Amino acid sequence: MYMCMDSTQPAIAVIFYLAFVVFDSIFVMNLTLAVISEEFNIEEPPRSPTAALKKTPEKQSRLKPRIPLLYYIASHPLFSFFVMCAIFANTAVLSMDHYPMSDTMDADLEIINFALTCVFVAEMIMKVAGLGIHLYTRDKFNLFDAFVVLMGLLEMALSPPSFMSENQPKKGSVASLRSFRLLRVFKLARNWKSLRELLEMVGRALASIANFGVLLFIFIYIYALVGMQFFGNTMRFDSNGYPTPYNIYDYWSGTVPRLHFDTFLWSAITVFKIITTDNWNEDMYNVIRSSGMFAALYTISLIVFGNFIMMNLFLALLLDNFSSDDTDEEQAQTNVQKLVRNFTSTKIASTPLPIPGERRPGHDDHDEMGSKDHLPVSDANSHVVEPDESTNHSTRTFSLSRCESYF
């Protein structure tokens, strides 16, 4: 755009390029995503009415705890609030680690981290003792908490705090275990409903795009092999940027760009980089310089099929997974409402209709005489009981054929 502004009218060049970017990059690319998402939804088989109910998370079975007192303490809202405060404190302590740091502050942070680790260990022990191993392992969040606590204990065993041991090992040897402290933040998902639902949605999305990962691997594998066949050992340039002649003297003196097609590994990395559109035009120019203008068809086709179609298909899968949760919830609510309506209709249909001329106990003759005009039946073949318009009593119309379907 800047070169066009220098060579032609600047205002016209700015308007042209801005209109091109808005129309092509924003409108056309999103339209491609919408078309792929729509085709994906068409190909997807319709869900049965009970599928949404089956996909709802199962509630933990309410079996009898082994030690009710510990279970009551561990599940009490005040104790949960205390654990959440400990998690926030752990996050604050991790954010205070810096370099260089004084020995006093380092010792204080070690003491605080040791105290927080003891809190999390006590929480796990109370839950295991209160629920028992069987009930404790039924909850995935409990397993996650146990993993984080065990990693913290392993870190303390390999690198104990300074107030517990005089011979300190090198902290760099257990620096990787310290990263597991960051996982304690996800313990908030147990009491934070929106965060828990978001993590569950991300987990289901990752599980559902496994097949797409296989398809993407096959796509990169094929294009990497094709790139090796056409452009392998050809991208070597001299100091002026021209390709070196293919002979024993000048060929090996040429400079190879960082991304090339000489080996399968670098060929696959180059294909992946072009798919992500990370400065892909530079790779296209290198291919054109080494193999001619027709070599641009390789990179252009890779952008069209790899970025415009494959990546948009990936986004369509994510959008479908995130929208299916709301659809399943709405479908579940609709099914519950249908069950309530059917149950109400069944109760109404099971109400016995009064028969003209039948004497009901507890009613005098005056009521019996007044009930003769209550609900007359029009004929024997009629399936609908019509109210008598001569009376002032409003009577609801019932369909006998619909009533018989419930019995």
**Interval 281-326: pLDDT, tens:** 899 999 998 888 999 999 999 999 998 888 888 877 777 776 665 5
pLDDT band at 253; cut points 50, 70, 90:
confident
Asked whether the predicted pLDDT for residue 78 surpasses 80, the reply is yes
Q: Which residues of 214-228 are buried (b: 16+ CB within 10 A; e: fewer)?
A: eebeebbeebbbbbb
On whether the CB atoms of residues 97 and 85 are closer than 8 A, the answer is no
For residue 200, what are the contacts with CB-CB under 8 A and spacing of at least 6? 57
Record the tokens describing residue 274, joined without a space. Answer: 């072009």
Q: How confident is the model at residue 375 (pLDDT cuts 50, 70, 90)?
A: very low
SS3 110: helix
- 3-state helix/strand/coil string of 3-32: HHHHHCCHHHHHHHHHHHHHHHHHHHHHHH
Model confidence at 352, pLDDT cuts 50, 70, 90, reads low
Q: Which residue has the tokens 């205070």?
A: 96
Confidence of residue 199 (pLDDT cuts 50, 70, 90): confident
- Lowest-confidence region among 18-22, 113-117, 397-401: 397-401
384 sits in which H/E element? strand 384-385
